[in-house]
Structure 1
């Protein structure tokens, strides 16, 4: 799609949606923006060099719900926004096709609310994934559905012309299927962004609330969690297999918005069992025993931001039991957690080795 056409559609979406936002029952609680991004695919893996042939373009339509300190976490995070982003990515590459995505996001503000940090996570549909017969060059996307992540930093000018404003900045977009189906090299797009915003002037009754903070239990708590899903080997045609992870860890709240973690876990990844058997038979010179144990044990440390009932964990781990060499001993995990109450929670995380995702993990646990 040509740049002029992308800009035309961005303007059409903006002016069609603006009246709808302006007619909200509670004026001033919602804002709207539409952004255009022009970027490049980063060569995070040498195997995608043949895909870096054009500059991708991204259109994102965002609807934001403002916060005004009704809950203590909103005050702690300087009154962020939350909402939905509708994202269209044109890779300008017939091998990669196009992505259509919907993501949940948060916007955090700094420096007198002139700097915006945008974090989004969701799912995208790819129009042209890998196919051994019709699209064998697409080693980035092995499936129609992808996990999508967006990280952006913008300078925000909200009221340049009445309720209309501009944003300028940079974004990083990541798309992959979490190794649910091979191949899964994924893509990372670094994009320069420009956005139009509609931000209804805040009414007097919507002024920020800066009430008292809630009490926080800072004692150490033990947690037990079980997660699982499906993933596949990097070798083609080995199938998709289930996996399970059992984790135990201690956590300690540092305040109303953060906690630290330390724990251990065991991984049962059946795709590794199939990969070990395949490598032992196909590459005998490597000296791999087909009966090599496919389980792994890791220890990890982590941090978790708490946004009300939502947690945003980040962890780094190291395999202390590692009988088969897969990627590296160091692994990373990022994602989200939802607390039903003070004890029970559910998780959705991505586990990776550097820039290579191993799995999307769905889990649940209890905090004792």
Structure 2
């Protein structure tokens, strides 16, 4: 894996979640041990599901009270950072240690908390063709990781101490930076304590009038790049480049819809075509098959202050080489720098099968 790219990932994630707050400073610290099971999302990892993973999640959270408009729109979420330790209780898989940026969203009079965290994790025992060939889940030490927590949350039950309990979902994958990359998903039950500190006294949430947002159709151009590898182990990592153009239309303060196209220059496909044409003649792949692809997509963008969450569903209209089917999807984060320029970190997949982690820049006119 080209590990130099992952600090960029962490910096972009931190930018995406770092929203300045000018109001009262109140914080919480929570510690949640968990116990769970690895989900069988792919039969290729059946041999790795032997025991129940255990671990803990430590979260640091800053409260928001509505001094920014976006905070009121999303019911005054928390902004935070977290650390996750997970022992897979399987010597082949090893242990995972992760750092994340996260949001806590609240529902039902702030008794139900949904946490969404994104970050990077370090695996202690990835695939090695000589020493650990059975680990087809993690092909590298560094992994992209996402986790979700849905918890009953009650703060300040006794003085500053509170309680939370619920379920968590933890995902680890290297997004095909290096094969193999079957990945794991853990569903766990968690319970723990919270501690509140910072400004004392009663704090009032600031209500704000909702502003109506109307915009003309906007035109976007984006360039994405990165490294990835096919599922054939040791076939090599190759750079890819994607040029995208699309239009978007705001539906209100929170959302916009998108329509556009992508042109893909995926060099790992060039090597995969050569490999299949020479090693597997029964597949009837011509060595001069074009490795490029082009697609059209529909998308949605959810705006949260200076960042947004992007989801897109696409279909290849130019598809000379069959790789994982004609449908593709993309999900990720955008961070706006001013009104026009943005950076993006997105995961391109075919269903649940990741193809690449994309680093992008663009302009919205």
Whether the TM-score (by the shorter chain) exceeds 0.5 is yes
Deviation at 1:58, TM superposition (A): 2.6
Q: Which residue of 1 aligns with 2:361?
A: 364
Q: Which residue of 2 aligns with 1:278?
A: 275
Deviation at 1:71, TM superposition (A): 0.7
Q: Which residue of 1 aligns with 2:11?
A: none
Residue of structure 1 aligned with 2:68, choices 66, 71, 78: 71
Is this contact kept in 1: 2:28–2:62, CA < 8 A? yes
Deviation at 1:298, TM superposition (A): 1.2
Matched, 1:100 2:84: no
Is this contact kept in 2: 1:124–1:146, CA < 8 A? yes
Matched, 1:120 2:117: yes
Q: Which residue of 2 aligns with 1:5?
A: none
Once structures 1 and 2 are overlaid, which stretch shifts more, 351-360 or 202-211?
A: 202-211
Instruction: Mark the runs of 5 or more structure 2 residues left unpaired by the alignment.
Output: 1-22
Residue of structure 2 aligned with 1:193, choices 173, 190, 195: 190
Matched, 1:45 2:12: no
Deviation at 1:291, TM superposition (A): 1.0
Separation in structure 2 between the aligned mates of residue 55 and residue 323 of structure 1, nearest angstrom: 44
Is this contact kept in 2: 1:126–1:145, CA < 8 A? yes
Q: Which residue of 1 aligns with 2:309?
A: 312
Separation in structure 2 between the aligned mates of residue 214 and residue 88 of structure 1, nearest angstrom: 42
Q: What RMSD, in angstroms, separates the aligned Cα atoms of the two structures?
A: 1.5
Instruction: Mark the runs of 5 or more structure 1 residues left unpaired by the alignment.
Output: 1-25
Separation in structure 1 between the aligned mates of residue 210 and residue 363 of structure 2, nearest angstrom: 25
Deviation at 1:270, TM superposition (A): 0.3
Is this contact kept in 2: 1:163–1:201, CA < 8 A? no
Residue of structure 2 aligned with 1:246, choices 243, 248, 260: 243
Residue of structure 2 aligned with 1:130, choices 127, 130, 140: 127
Is this contact kept in 1: 2:27–2:198, CA < 8 A? no
Q: Which residue of 1 aligns with 2:10?
A: none
Separation in structure 1 between the aligned mates of residue 201 and residue 258 of structure 2, nearest angstrom: 42
Once structures 1 and 2 are overlaid, which stretch shifts more, 327-336 or 242-251?
A: 327-336
Separation in structure 2 between the aligned mates of residue 28 and residue 35 of structure 1, nearest angstrom: 23
Separation in structure 2 between the aligned mates of residue 237 and residue 125 of structure 1, nearest angstrom: 21
Separation in structure 1 between the aligned mates of residue 217 and residue 235 of structure 2, nearest angstrom: 43
Separation in structure 2 between the aligned mates of residue 119 and residue 163 of structure 1, nearest angstrom: 24
Is this contact kept in 1: 2:217–2:247, CA < 8 A? yes
State the TM-score, normalized to the length of structure 1.
0.90
Evaluate the alpha carbon distance shift between residue 111 and residue 201 of structure 1 in structure 2; reply closer, same or farther with a 3 A threshold. Answer: farther
Q: Could you say what secondary structure the match of 2:89 adopts?
A: coil
Q: Which residue of 2 aligns with 1:229?
A: 226
Q: Which residue of 2 aligns with 1:343?
A: 340
